[in-house]
Structure 1
Amino acid sequence: MEIKRKRKLIGYANLLDQPIRFSPFLFSRDFWLWALLGLIGGSIAGVYWITLESFMHVLEGFEGWSVIPLMTVAGLLAGLIIHWIGDPGEIHLIVNNIRFNKGKLNPKNNPSMILSSLICVAAGGSLGPEAPLVQVTGSTGTWLGKIFRLKGEKLRTYSIAGMASGFTALFGAPLGGSLFAVEILHHKHMLEYYRAVIPALVASCFSYIVFALIIHLGLGPTWNFPQYSYEGIFDFGYAFGVAILGSAVAWVFVFCTKGCKKAFEWVSMPIYVKTTLGGLILGLIGYGFPITRYFGHHEINEVIGLNLSWETLLLILGMKILAISVTVTSGWRGGFIIPLFFVGTCLGLALCQLFPGLNPTLTWVSCMAAVNACVTRTPVSTTILLSVLTGFGHFVPILIASLTGYFLAPRVPFIHSQLKKIEAENA
């Protein structure tokens, strides 16, 4: 009995030593830290976007033959920044660090990433600001976690939440951005990072609010697609059939990128030589096909309004795939999600020209979903993002197209670090 009494006294003493909690809700310090992370991430994204738009407004005035020297010089400047300040890496490195480096994204890479990506994207490279924003906001999450001495899964969670705030700011879709940050890490086992979903959602919501306030973002869709009206059960079959063609185009992109990578690695050269050579090639493509310049955020609406023939659209599609591949492999910085959406749009437009009976909006969105899901292995978040970006109110056809692209993807992912470590060693 004496021992039991002593145990009770020790238990009561431990209870008294704990801080008194008055809140009956789930609010905790973590919630406010996730919110703070979202506010910081949204602010970073807003400043980055305004700066990028300002640079683009100046550099888009270069037209015709002047695009060639402009992009060549831009490649040289970006390469010199990477050479002097340090290589910030690509989305492959970000995914690898989150999965295999205890969730740490190093903030010391941010100056190089910000400066080089601003030059590359503003000059007209075929990659968007997704990867730079994710690197900066994700490393901000790591930095905030280290301040509060977080380790293990908690630190990884803050890095993922930071990534989600960057995705959300760019796409304007908190749910889609949150799931994309989790889904892109592992194409098979998304639930491996289920603990990060709620933190990512909280950070994304606060990031979206701040970003919308800074750049005066509205709630409407980004791209002006015609309103889709359901015409029957066969629409699902059309989405599946079109998605097969979209997956084939994604395979072309993967092989084109691998070919360009081998070409740039054929002769060992400094990074600034590689980026300069890439800029020259991109300048030549941009001179011949001006619509392929830039990453597609504004160009998707532009190509929809041009009413081009299917032959011209397929030619633009091929040149855009080449431009993205050269941009990725020559050391230019940026992300390829929105550029892949542009490729899908061109394919959808060409199919509608070849087969006038197809529903335009259904065809365009299905192609966009299949191409992106096949390359990035993100069928769930791709579906949500496209429903927000295009205003396509019917969820199921996009999901069918995304899943088709996902299951027809190459066995070895385009983002190689999505594999498990053992799988990556054996691949």
Structure 2
Amino acid sequence: MIKYLKDEKIIFYDVIKWFFLATLIGLGSGLLVASFLKLLNWGTVYSESFGKYFWIAPVFFVINIILIKYLAPDAQGHGTEKVIEAIHKKAGKIKVAVIPVKLITTLLTLFSGGSVGKEGPSAQMGGGLASLMADILKFNDDDRKKLVICGISGGFAAIFGTPISGAVFGIEVLFVGMILYDDLLPSFVSGITAYYVTTLMGVVRPEYHIDFTTGMTEFFILKIALAGIAFGVCSFIFIEIMNQTERISKRIKIHFLLKGLIGGSAVILVGTFFGTETLGLGTTTVNAIFSGAKIVWYLFILKIIITSITLNFGGSGGIVTPVFFVGATVGAFVGQITGHDPALFAAIGLVAVLGGTTNAPIAACIMGIELFGVAIAPYAALACIISFFITGNRSIYPTQILAMKKASHLTTVVGREIKLIDEEIEQEEIIQEIKEQNNK
């Protein structure tokens, strides 16, 4: 009996400790994200008032490259990936310089039309704040990592206004097929706190009202399952194009500043010949879909391409908002060709492509409920899970660690990074090509 009382005392102390620490991280993350969103809203309105604002992209991309190279190399790319890498490889240590550099470079990218998202800088700001607090409090490596996970949850919850899915995302995204229950309490506290801080600071988020009973028949679930396959294939394509663009960027042997000119020039070409629908966050297009607007079928492909070029040639920012765009536009297209409400399938597509690209289907499903209401739950769950499996051993976050086999007959070894698996497959393909050439 005495032993049980001692155990309960330790548990009670731990609950109080992490409730307090997670609240602080949530407060800090919420303040940073709210400030970031206000700057973003102001700057976007100001820059777009100049008409062809995207013509400044090459200059801003070059500035980004200089800031990142000399001040904070980890601010490169889409942000959340670097936080995951820091947790797995650096015991959660994140340099404080990442916070202002990521903030500035993301704003410059978006102001000039670069296709990036908001969650990357939010995760890095939350994670960087958490790492700084761990340094001040002299935490051990395990506590530091737990605190940084709180930062991911707080940043994600605050930026999208989804406190529950934000919390779950932080503990699901690190591993493919495993949730960190040890971090459940602090992640939820941080996510909920950050969400309410941004709300109190006047951050306004769109509300969606979609009728999920429209056009439902006895074959509707089958259509959702088939759509889930399409969303999984779309996730697969997104990841592969991102990976191939990164490889191309690394193979191009030119002065590093010239890569910024390439990325900025691509933004100008897209803006000039295709319009600005796929530039920047793309939230105007997504909101229009949910309001009943029809879209051209190729928007999702164009968004994938320009996002991949932006992030690998001088741009900096997140990846989830472009994922939303791709999922919503693919879903709307599926709705149009099947005779259903495009907004309905756009909502399902948005969360299903998120679940497939990030390997976080549970967080994606919960996000669907938080954004679109509880009626989406069974359809979002089915589509997210199918998309998750169809994506295979790939991820938009290549330093995720594989903790499960997505099919029992796969020979993939669990416990390894997605990136290492991809590299081995690529090496095997190269060796096979060499053998075939030698045989000829």
TM-score range, shorter chain: 0.7 to 0.9
The answer for the alignment partner of 1:327 in structure 2 is 310
Counterparts of 1:289 and 1:382, CA distance in 2: 30
TM-aligned CA distance change 1:294 to 1:139, over 3 Å: same
Please state how far the C-alpha of 1:81 moved relative to its aligned partner.
1.8
Q: Aligned letter for 1:195?
A: D
The two structures, once aligned, show a CA RMSD in angstroms of: 2.5
- Tell me the matched-pair count: 397
Task: Name the CA distance, whole Å, in 1 between partners of 2:341 and 2:125.
Answer: 40
**Residues 1:379 and 2:379 are matched in the alignment:** no
Question: For residues 138 and 327 of structure 1, what CA distance do their matches in structure 2 show?
Answer: 23
Instruction: Report the equivalent of 1:138.
Output: 127
Aligned counterparts of 1:407 and 1:233: Cα–Cα separation in 2: 25
Matches within 5 A, 1:75-224: 75-87=61-73, 88-89=75-76, 90-190=79-179, 193-217=180-204, 222=206, 224=208
Partner residue, 2:411: none
- Which letter maps to 1:214? M
CA distance in 1, matches of 2:207, 2:299: 19
How far is 1:402 from its partner?
0.3
Q: Deviations over 1:280-310 (max 9, x none)?
A: 10121122231111123333113455743xx
Query: What secondary structure sits across from 2:139 in the alignment?
Result: coil
The correspondence of residues 282-293 of structure 1 with structure 2, limited to 5 A, is 282-287=267-272, 288-293=274-279
Matched, 1:71 2:54: no
Contact 1:291 1:303 in 2 (8 A): no
Q: Contact 1:127 / 1:328 at 8 angstroms: preserved in 2?
A: yes
Query: Does the 8 A contact of 1:167 with 1:177 survive in 2?
Result: yes
Instruction: Normalising by structure 1, report the TM-score.
Output: 0.86
Which one of the candidate residues 201, 222, 226 is aligned to 1:237? Answer: 222
> What secondary structure does 2:175 align onto?
coil
Q: Per-residue CA shift, 1:207-243, capped at 9, x if unaligned?
A: 111111112436xxx3535322273553322211111
Residues 118-175 of structure 1: per-residue CA shift (max 9 Å, x gap) = 1112222211121111101111111112222211321111111111111111111111
Contact map agreement 1:68 1:284 (CA 8 A) in 2 = no
Q: Once the 2 structures are TM-superposed, how far is the Cα of residue 199 of structure 1 from its aligned partner?
A: 0.3
Partner of 1:316: 299
Select the residue among 387, 400, 407 that pairs with 2:382.
Answer: 400
Deviation (angstroms), 1:68? 4.5
- Kindly provide the CA deviation profile for residues 243-302 of structure 1, in whole angstroms up to 9, marking residues without a partner as x: 111122222222322332233223223443212210110121122231111123333113
Give the structure-2-normalised TM-score. Answer: 0.83
Aligned to 1:62: 50
Encode CA deviations 1:9-31: one digit per residue, 9 max, x unaligned: xx9xxxxxx9xx9xx89862432
Q: Which runs of 5+ in 2 are unaligned?
A: 403-414, 425-440
Q: Is the 8 A contact 2:150 2:187 kept in 1?
A: yes
- Which residue of the partner structure matches residue 22 of structure 2? 34
One-letter amino acid of the structure 2 residue matched with residue 389 of structure 1 = L
- Specify the alignment match of 2:250 in structure 1: 265
Provide the C-alpha distance between the structure 2 equivalents of 1:223 and 1:123, rounded to a whole number of angstroms.
27
Answer whether contact 2:210 2:372 (CA < 8 A) is retained: no
Aligned to 1:246: 231
Q: State whether residues 223 and 301 of structure 1, in contact with CA within 8 Å, keep that contact through their aligned partners in structure 2.
A: no
- Letter matched to residue 95 of structure 1: I
Q: How far has the Cα of 1:109 moved from its partner?
A: 2.0
Structure 1's 399 and 152: CA in aligned 2 closer, same or farther, altered over 3 A?
same
CA, structure 1 residues 271+227, in 2 after alignment: closer, same or farther (shift >3 Å)?
A: farther
Q: Hey, what's the Cα distance between the residues in 1 that align with 2:81 and 2:18?
A: 29
Report if the CA contact (8 A) 2:115-2:279 is conserved: yes
Q: Secondary structure at the match of 2:105?
A: helix
> Hey, what's the Cα distance between the residues in 2 that align with 1:142 and 1:274?
31
Larger radius of gyration: 1
Q: Residue type matched to 1:168 in 2?
A: A
Identity %: 20
Q: Which has the larger displacement, 269-278 or 124-133? A: 269-278
Q: Quick check: 359-368 or 402-411, which moved more?
A: 359-368
Matched to 1:203, the amino acid is: S
Report deviation, 1:388: 1.6
Note if contact 1:75-1:277 (Cα within 8 Å) is conserved in structure 2.
Answer: no
Aligned residue runs from structure 1 range 318-357, under 5 A = 318-356=301-339
Partner in structure 1 of residue 405 of structure 2: none
Query: What is the letter of the counterpart of residue 226 of structure 2?
Result: G
Return 5+ residue gaps in structure 1 as ranges: 1-10, 12-17
Offset from partner CA, 1:49-95 (integer Å, 9 cap, x none):
111111111112233xx344222222122222223323224432221
Residue in 2 aligned with 1:370? 352
Q: Is the 8 A contact 2:62 2:314 kept in 1?
A: no
